Structure 1
Amino acid sequence: MELSTAPTGLPALPAIELPWQRRIREDPHLLFDIHYAVGGPFHVVHPAGFADNLRAFQDVLTRHRVDGAVYYGKKANKAGCWLPEVADLGAGVDVASEPELVHALAHGVRGRDIGVTGAAKTDGLLRLAARHDCLVAIDALDELERAAEIARDAGRLRILLRRLPPTAPHSRFGSADPDLERAVARCADLRDRIALTGFSFHLDGYAVDPRAELAHDMLGWCERARALGLPVSAISIGGGFACRYVREQDWETFTRDHTDEWFHANKRFEKFYPYAQQPTGADMLDAVLGRTFRGRTLAGHLRDAGIALYLEPGRALLIDSGFSVFPVLGFKQHSDYGITTVHGLSMSVSEQWKGSEFLPDPVLVPRRAEPRPRPAVTCVGGASCMEYDVLTWRKVTVSQQPRPGDLLLYPNTAGYQMDKNESEFHQLPLPPKIVMSEEAGRMRWRLDR
């Protein structure tokens, strides 16, 4: 397979594009009609793609004959349109605040299908979780005591005890093993108010083996808790399921050869998200469950122990399910490349606010295509007065020189990009989310509710 190169000689990182995305992008009117209606930048979201990803995870659990549940990591995107898909498919939602929990309930997700995670939770969040029979990941001994006190009046609370991964001793999340042992014993004392359902953990990175190994190790904790008469029945392995945005060959070339000269002002980045990796999504879950220990797969050990597997993917459910569109305000030549300014802020491409760069190539959608278009090299800045408000520091090649009235499309931004850091800086309204669906052979759109 040939590598992607721009006519300018700069490397290209074209995003993998699904048919629904291409269909919208190539429609001569649809995106411009939406821009006319909203008047500024906007995000396009596609619930059907999210549902496909969710079903793929559920199918892996079924194929391995493992009881379990998929909890959508809600923090990855604030749109409401994903939640009815979760409810209809019998999945769950992972929340970390009272507004997130209420939002899930309002869109039809039952309380018993809501997991509550995060650091130390407010009393209000714990009380709401108890009232609605949510499953709460308890992070520390003091939180366990608060939860038990709240459960005295609010009702028995179902919990997981979150373990501090031995390979991440400096994480601020989870209990180290001595505290975890004390917490299990305390749950036995508090069994009239606290129902210890199982254990949870979360690992950074996207590797298969550490997740499988820690999940297998957690089976021993399940046995200890059961020996105390506690109704332990599940392990949650958190999120961190890998995603792929660009072709492997293009990513390998970029990571091998990249230089500061490819970026505006020779901007230097210490690290990038791995935009091409394997295995990804549901295939990664398949690999975790297929990992063998003492001649038997993790799935087999879970079945033998009667332990369900919970997981909390966010980005991996949103991959290929949304993109962002910014109207072009102007273009000026800067040395041997240009600077395009768009209507909107880099806070709507959140990777920039984590000291990194969102690398899949933006795509120019011109209002009027030139008869003989000449490719143009540009970086992309936001509409604020801040020097660092840059959506794309990398010098990227677009089909022709951007002009006011054109649209610049950022592909595959649904997961953690489009709204994680958005702000009404300069009193600019937040970009609305446009929900796309296909009906009667055509694409229809509405505002997210």
Structure 2
Amino acid sequence: MGCDPLYLDPRINGPLRMVLDQSELLAGLVDALGSPLNVVLPDQVAANVAAFRSVYARHRLRGTIYFANKASRSSALLRALAATEAGVDVASLNELRHALGSGFAPTRVLATGPKTEPFLWLAARSGASVHLDSLAELRGLIGIVEDFGLPPVRVVPRLCGFEHTGARVLTRPSRFGIEPAALGPVVDLLVARRDVVDCAGVGYHLDTSSLEEKAAALEACVVTLDDLRRGGLTPSTVDIGGGFGVTYLADVARWDRYTTALTEAVLGTRPPLTWQGHGYGLRAESGTIRGTLRLYPAARTDAAHTYLDRLLATPGPRLGRGLSTVLLENLVDLDIEPGRALLDQCGLTLARVAEVGYRAGQCLIRVEANRDDISFEAGGVLVDPLVLPRDPAREARPCQAYLVGNLSLEHDFLTHRLVALRHTPACGDLLAFVNTAGYFSDFSAGHALRQPVATTVAVAVSGAGTWRWCHDEQYWPTLGACP
């Protein structure tokens, strides 16, 4: 079979493409601040929030768009979001402190995830809302409110373990949420202690992108609201969490072509596409493919706000009506918690090329970064970096190579995939990994072998059309296009 390069070009829109055209600026930033370097675009977040809100308007719904703060450590992006209508979902004590210090009023903050007593105390003391994942968590919160004489806290029990009346579901069991069998005691305590906690609604957590499963869960939440109302509570919101996704690739057809070729390579009917036969979950047994492809669907046809739009148009399995209609008929608001989807096209990571060499006949490109600095591989996202040459006049010659990092570890591959590049890099050139702001730039970064972690800078274009930058912590919305 043919061995033509299998390009997986990144999807690049608007301001991010303009930033990539500033090769001299980017090279100067890496020279001054080191490699790797994260570059974020705070001005893009407002457009992403507006795209989600447009779906609400189309379906005539109300509710809060909470940013899942765990997706990024960037202060610039969080402060830019604070300047919009968005709320923020925080999953730790320090995330809560960061959000409050970045400009979010407590009424726009939702405390989620595993909770310590200090985390619950600050949430209750400040006036943030709290997702409840268990009866023990509810009891702990009630104790804190009573012990410190605090006002009632707005709470949202999070549910899991939904039944589906249609086809077999593929949702993996979740460690978060309250199963149906455990909900009764939680409801009884919410009713008994209405003086301490205010049940504003219910939510769910599902580890799936299946529209059918999410539709069943949303419909079940609306039914649960009716049960709570009959018990004397006044809930009015359903929080459907996140999982809206991002489209990372420019061409869906190229993704289909690559996954087909990967299957053929695992079977041995074409040359290998990965280092030492890495199959991304696939394996060959007696001429047959086994296993499950463990890759993110990087070329989704519906992602971010378009996924929400499609979900709201999906009929519920029991009532048979579109979910937005079900919400409107029952006077229910819709809250969501997108993470990466609100950071789509909001950043990139630059890595300087340290060496271009060969091992066992394979081209290896070593960069001044490692797999934890640019963690596409850990998230199952396959996408090509762009080569930013120091000498733009150098002839562009394509190559296929493996990208390796700066750790003294055999497994420090930025990706196990043979990457097709349209321009062979030289030492000192930059590789630009696009759309890393959500989860893939600083989520896993650490100081292994005392290697430096990336500095983060914010960039924006001024009214005069020139690009300006500042350190991430220096950015504030009042400064406009950075100081």
Matched, 1:266 2:269: no
Deviation of 1:64 after TM superposition, in Å, equals 1.4
Hey, what does 1:155 align to over in structure 2?
A: 151
Matched, 1:164 2:187: no
CA distance, structure 1, for counterparts of residue 122 and residue 234 of structure 2: 22
Aligned ranges for residues 122-271 of structure 1 at < 5 Å? Answer: 122-152=116-146, 153=148, 154-166=150-162, 168=171, 170-246=173-249, 247-258=251-262, 259-260=265-266, 261-270=272-281, 271=294
Go from structure 1 to structure 2 and tell me whether the alpha carbon gap of 1:348 and 1:371 turns closer, same or farther (over 3 Å shift).
Answer: closer
Hey, what does 2:428 align to over in structure 1?
A: 405
Matched, 1:78 2:82: no
Hey, what does 2:472 align to over in structure 1?
A: 448
Hey, what does 2:43 align to over in structure 1?
A: 48
Q: Which SS does the other structure have where 1:131 is aligned?
A: helix
CA distance, structure 1, for counterparts of residue 213 and residue 453 of structure 2: 39
Q: Deviations over 1:264-319 (max 9, x none)?
A: 22222111111011211111111122223446432222122221111100011111
CA distance, structure 2, for counterparts of residue 331 and residue 283 of structure 1: 41
Deviation of 1:426 after TM superposition, in Å, equals 1.9
CA distance, structure 1, for counterparts of residue 210 and residue 46 of structure 2: 24
Which shifted more, 422-431 or 361-370?
Answer: 361-370
Which shifted more, 324-333 or 335-344?
Answer: 335-344
Q: Contact 2:172 / 2:208 at 8 angstroms: preserved in 1?
A: no
Q: Which amino acid aligns with 2:373?
A: S
Q: Contact 2:387 / 2:432 at 8 angstroms: preserved in 1?
A: yes
Deviation of 1:166 after TM superposition, in Å, equals 2.1
Aligned residues: 440
Aligned ranges for residues 317-396 of structure 1 at < 5 Å? Answer: 317-353=342-378, 356=380, 358-369=381-392, 371-396=394-419
CA distance, structure 2, for counterparts of residue 399 and residue 350 of structure 1: 22
Q: Contact 1:330 / 1:341 at 8 angstroms: preserved in 2?
A: yes
Go from structure 1 to structure 2 and tell me whether the alpha carbon gap of 1:86 and 1:39 turns closer, same or farther (over 3 Å shift).
Answer: closer
Hey, what does 1:303 align to over in structure 2?
A: 328
Which shifted more, 375-384 or 293-302?
Answer: 293-302
Q: Contact 1:156 / 1:194 at 8 angstroms: preserved in 2?
A: yes
Q: Contact 2:70 / 2:90 at 8 angstroms: preserved in 1?
A: yes
Q: Which SS does the other structure have where 2:65 is aligned?
A: strand
CA distance, structure 1, for counterparts of residue 194 and residue 392 of structure 2: 69
Go from structure 1 to structure 2 and tell me whether the alpha carbon gap of 1:36 and 1:64 turns closer, same or farther (over 3 Å shift).
Answer: same
Deviation of 1:435 after TM superposition, in Å, equals 0.8
CA distance, structure 1, for counterparts of residue 119 and residue 414 of structure 2: 35
Go from structure 1 to structure 2 and tell me whether the alpha carbon gap of 1:14 and 1:23 turns closer, same or farther (over 3 Å shift).
Answer: same
Q: Deviations over 1:79-106 (max 9, x none)?
A: 0112233222221000111110010111
Deviation of 1:370 after TM superposition, in Å, equals 5.7
CA distance, structure 1, for counterparts of residue 328 and residue 80 of structure 2: 28
CA distance, structure 1, for counterparts of residue 245 and residue 400 of structure 2: 31
Go from structure 1 to structure 2 and tell me whether the alpha carbon gap of 1:95 and 1:287 turns closer, same or farther (over 3 Å shift).
Answer: same
Hey, what does 2:64 align to over in structure 1?
A: 69
Which shifted more, 400-409 or 178-187?
Answer: 400-409
Deviation of 1:400 after TM superposition, in Å, equals 3.8
Q: Which amino acid aligns with 2:325?
A: G
CA RMSD of the aligned region, Å?
1.8
CA distance, structure 1, for counterparts of residue 205 and residue 174 of structure 2: 10
Aligned ranges for residues 424-435 of structure 1 at < 5 Å? Answer: 424-435=447-458
Which shifted more, 218-227 or 399-408?
Answer: 399-408
Alignment TM-score, normalising by the size of structure 1: 0.94
CA distance, structure 1, for counterparts of residue 5 and residue 361 of structure 2: 12
Go from structure 1 to structure 2 and tell me whether the alpha carbon gap of 1:41 and 1:268 turns closer, same or farther (over 3 Å shift).
Answer: same
4+ residue segments displaced more than 4 Å = none
Q: Contact 2:161 / 2:180 at 8 angstroms: preserved in 1?
A: no
Deviation of 1:329 after TM superposition, in Å, equals 0.7
Alignment TM-score, normalising by the size of structure 2: 0.87
Q: Deviations over 1:82-140 (max 9, x none)?
A: 22332222210001111100101111111111111113x11111111111111111101
Q: Contact 1:212 / 1:288 at 8 angstroms: preserved in 2?
A: yes
Go from structure 1 to structure 2 and tell me whether the alpha carbon gap of 1:375 and 1:278 turns closer, same or farther (over 3 Å shift).
Answer: closer
Deviation of 1:398 after TM superposition, in Å, equals 2.3
Q: Contact 2:88 / 2:110 at 8 angstroms: preserved in 1?
A: yes
Q: Which amino acid aligns with 1:249?
A: A
Deviation of 1:42 after TM superposition, in Å, equals 0.4
Q: Contact 1:348 / 1:417 at 8 angstroms: preserved in 2?
A: yes
Deviation of 1:20 after TM superposition, in Å, equals 2.2
Identity %, equivalent residues? 30
Hey, what does 2:442 align to over in structure 1?
A: 419
Which shifted more, 271-280 or 16-25?
Answer: 16-25
CA distance, structure 1, for counterparts of residue 337 and residue 394 of structure 2: 49
Hey, what does 2:10 align to over in structure 1?
A: 15
Q: Contact 2:42 / 2:346 at 8 angstroms: preserved in 1?
A: yes
Hey, what does 1:89 align to over in structure 2?
A: 84
Q: Show structure 2 runs of 5+ residues with no match.
A: 164-170, 267-271, 282-293, 474-483
Q: Which SS does the other structure have where 1:316 is aligned?
A: helix
Q: Show structure 1 runs of 5+ residues with no match.
A: 1-6
CA distance, structure 1, for counterparts of residue 227 and residue 13 of structure 2: 47
Q: Which SS does the other structure have where 1:405 is aligned?
A: coil
Q: Which SS does the other structure have where 1:346 is aligned?
A: coil
